[in-house]
């Protein structure tokens, strides 16, 4: 029995030597190798029956809201420590609240409506500018343009109406302590030409992953996001994420996760489930 336990322990440790920093929502500092490519497709479904009101309290919705997001990203390694990723997607929204007869247009909080459309389109360059391999630490910076959907006030609610050009950037930090990898991401975007319909966004993600072996990576994350429309109150959300990243082969990866919002303002109290697949070549 002792021999079996020792063999299992050695397997876990041996599989964790080449540490992987992948997370569900937190970006890692590690760029793609020069000349390599990555294709990632993910699906996320979110449901809410309550909301966080302006003061931070909760209120039940007279119905429910659902979002289904299909996301596609393509990445390419450009040089040593430098890559680029282009991302967009399709979002399908359904609002089954009572008391709103308008079925032709979806607005956040509008009730009884549905709609679908393309999500934000962005290009992000990632540069890992510092790495201490001996201590297992690295820093990276991402930056690039984004075409964001704007937000306009419609009564007590927000609705999407057009798009605007923004600039986005983030600072990434990674710390390895075998067999675990911790990541921190701090993100900020702002409109190139601010108007009453544009918004600023700040978010921070913290993740911890366990390299159990070569193919199994359990992860937990803390995710905070704040969207500040130019003429309206901020939309804030604090969520907890748990999931598994599976790597059947060196070039194929699967991710499974669940996210639950625990606090917020002016936003629905969503529970989200996500599944994704990634192929490198």
Q: What is the pLDDT along the chain (281 residues), one digit of tens a residue?
A: 444 444 434 444 433 348 999 999 999 999 999 999 999 999 999 999 898 987 778 888 877 888 899 999 999 999 999 999 999 998 887 776 554 444 444 444 444 456 666 778 999 999 999 999 999 999 999 999 999 876 555 544 555 666 899 999 999 999 999 999 999 999 999 999 998 888 999 999 999 999 999 999 999 999 999 999 887 788 999 999 999 999 999 999 999 999 999 999 988 899 999 999 999 99
CA distance 88 to 143: 16
Answer whether 259's CB lies under 8 Å from 225's CB.
no
- Angle formed at CA 99 by CA 228 and CA 113, multiple of 5 degrees: 60
What does the alpha-carbon distance between residue 204 and residue 114 come to, in Å, rounded to a whole number? 30
Are 22 and 217 spatial neighbours (Cβ–Cβ below 8 Å)?
yes
**CB-facing half-sphere around the CA of 199: CA atoms within 13 A:** 25
Question: What is the predicted pLDDT for the residue at 36?
Answer: 98
Q: Which domain, by its residues, includes 105?
A: 2-280
Burial status of residue 280 (CB atoms within 10 A of its CB: 0-12, 13-18, 19 or more): middle
25 neighbors 225 (Cβ within 8 angstroms)? no
> Taking the model in full, what pTM does it have?
0.85
Q: How far apart are CA 51 and CA 265, in angstroms?
A: 8
**Domain of 167: which CATH number?**
2.40.160.40
Strands, E, within the chain: which ranges? 37-52, 58-79, 82-95, 113-118, 121-132, 137-154, 157-177, 180-191, 199-210, 216-229, 235-246, 252-265, 267-268, 271-280
Tell me if the bond preceding 77 is cis, omega within 30° of 0. no
Q: What is the pLDDT of residue 196?
A: 83
* 235-246 and 216-229 strand pairing: antiparallel
Please name the residues in contact with 221: beta carbons below 8 A apart, sequence gap of 6 or more.
23, 24, 25, 26, 205, 206, 207, 208, 240, 241, 242
Tally the domains of the chain: 1
Q: Which two tokens stand for residue 190?
A: 């702002």
């Amino acid at each position: 029995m002792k021999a079996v336990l020792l063999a299992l322990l050695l397997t876990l440790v041996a599989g964790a030597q080449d540490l992987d920093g992948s997370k569900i929502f937190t970006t890692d500092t590690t760029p793609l190798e020069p000349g390599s490519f990555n294709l990632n497709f993910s699906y996320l479904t979110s449901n809410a029956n309550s909301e966080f009101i302006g003061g931070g309290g909760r209120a039940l919705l007279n119905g429910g809201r659902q979002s289904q997001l299909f996301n596609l990203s393509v990445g390419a390694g450009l040089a040593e420590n430098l890559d680029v990723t282009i991302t967009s997607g399709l979002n399908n929204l359904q609002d089954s609240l009572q008391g709103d007869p308008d079925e032709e247009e979806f607005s956040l909080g509008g009730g009884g409506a549905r709609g679908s459309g393309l999500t934000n389109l962005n290009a992000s360059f990632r540069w890992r500018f510092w790495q201490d391999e001996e201590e297992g630490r690295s820093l990276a910076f991402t930056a690039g343009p984004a075409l964001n959907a704007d937000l306009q006030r419609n009564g007590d609610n927000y609705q999407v109406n057009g798009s605007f050009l923004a600039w986005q950037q983030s600072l990434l930090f990674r710390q390895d302590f075998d067999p675990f990898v911790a990541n921190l991401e701090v993100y900020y975007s702002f409109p190139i030409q601010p108007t009453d319909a544009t918004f600023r966004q700040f978010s921070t993600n913290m993740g911890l992953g366990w390299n159990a072996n070569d193919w199994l990576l359990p992860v937990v994350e803390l995710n905070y996001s704040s969207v500040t429309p130019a003429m309206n109150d901020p939309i804030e959300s604090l969520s907890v994420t748990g999931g598994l990243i599976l790597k059947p082969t060196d070039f194929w990866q699967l991710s499974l996760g669940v996210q639950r919002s625990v606090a917020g303002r002016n936003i629905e109290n969503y529970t989200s489930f996500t599944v994704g697949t990634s192929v490198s070549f």
